[in-house]
Homo-oligomer: A and B are copies of this chain.
Amino acid sequence: MRWLVLIGLVFLQAFAFTNGAQAQSDKEIKEALGALQSLPKKVPTPADNPQTPVKIELGKALYFDPRLSKDGTISCNSCHNVMGGGDDGRPVGVGVKGQRGGRGSPTVWNSAFNTVQFWDGRAASLEDQAKGPLTNPIEMGMESHDAVMMRVKKIPGYLDMFKKAFPKDKEPVSIDNLARAIASFERTLITPDSPFDLYKNGNKKAMTPAAVRGMVLVHQIGCTSCHGGANFNGEGFAMGEGNYQPFPQVPGSVYDKQYDLVSDLGRYEVTKKDDDKNLWRVPTWRNVAVTAPYFHNGKVKTLDEAVRVMAKTQLDMDLKTEQVSDVVAFLNALTGKVPTIVAPKLPMVANESLTPDP
């Protein structure tokens, strides 16, 4: 019996090699690893919005509060669910009255490390981003930021929380401070200690051999020339500077039509510059394994297929099945540890509802 197991193991190993899943040399591993970064312990924070516990607590309440939407059904967390992948696990976001957006909800995890926000980079900070969905008619659907603040001001508990979070302000209850508080909470939403981070920091058992092979591969074929940096999205730490890349880089593959990759013009919709047509912010790889479906329109259902599509459209490469599987193994090694979040106790209003049906 023992012999049988041994023969089986030898066979499996041989199969693994003939199957193209070659072990990487130490030099190759070292080189790839040297080019990649683990998640920093420190989150970049704007000078005018330092983190404080009371501000984070306020931001958390606002983040989970569906009363910030027109009919009381949508909170930030509806599309950026911090109990899951920091997104909604859906092709595109869903706002008030069941309206579908045109793009997928990006994950909020580690968005603190992004230097621009949204798929097209139209917000230069988390503060700036937080204000957008509130008044987007197909997202949270509020008429104006004033309408948001009028509602917030009817909630006594919030008045108190804003005062404590912004003690020096004469008018603490403002849309800017609301955005600052939400951004402060979002800066706590980081997912350290992924298998890759542990591996990078010295624990060589933290990644599977397949993940190590995938890591070397993505370095060697050039994926990480865009998907580099701490957040694997190529963004540096200068706020407002986005890493925009054409997608597809190599147009004309079958995927363009199959997954409708070209009709949304991305960055161009913001700048209206021809050069920006089909340019997109490079999205993070962190937690990508748990944020299916994929791409700006969510039309690609599995990570395997997303890897094949990217190799073809960006690098003009047809990856072998085992290469795809190694890359997927590496991407799975970028799923980090999510923080424990105590659900907020939303400050309530007595005797009336703030969210009648319009």
Chain A residues engaging chain B, CB cutoff 8 angstroms? 64-67, 71-73, 78, 81-85, 88-92, 94, 96-100, 289-290, 292-293, 301-304, 328, 332, 335, 338, 340-346, 348-357
Contacts and interface: CB of A to CB of B under 8 A. Distances in A.
Contacts of A303: 350-352
Contacts of A98: 73, 96-99
Contacts of A99: 98
A293 B82 CA distance: 29
18 contacts: A64-B83, A66-B88, A71-B94, A73-B88, A73-B94, A88-B355, A89-B354, A90-B353, A90-B356, A98-B98, A292-B349, A292-B352, A293-B356, A303-B350, A335-B348, A335-B350, A338-B345, A341-B343
B90 A72 contact: yes
A94 B335 CA distance: 33
A351 to B, nearest CB: 4
A351 B302 contact: yes
B92 A343 contact: no
B293 A84 contact: no
A83 B343 contact: yes
A34 B72 CA distance: 39
B348 A91 contact: no
A292 B89 contact: no
Contacts of A289: 350-351
B351 A90 contact: no
A340 B338 contact: no
Nearest to A104: B353
Nearest to A307: B351
Contacts of A345: 83, 338, 340
A350 B332 contact: yes
A190 B56 CA distance: 27
A91 B354 CA distance: 11
A148 to B, nearest CB: 16
A56 to B, nearest CB: 15
A29 B145 CA distance: 48
A355 B89 contact: yes
Contacts of A89: 66-67, 72, 353-355
Contacts of A354: 89
Nearest to A292: B353
A63 B335 CA distance: 24
Contacts of A90: 71-73, 353, 355-357
For the complex of A and B, 5 pairs with smallest distance between CB atoms:
A98-B98, A303-B351, A292-B353, A97-B98, A290-B348
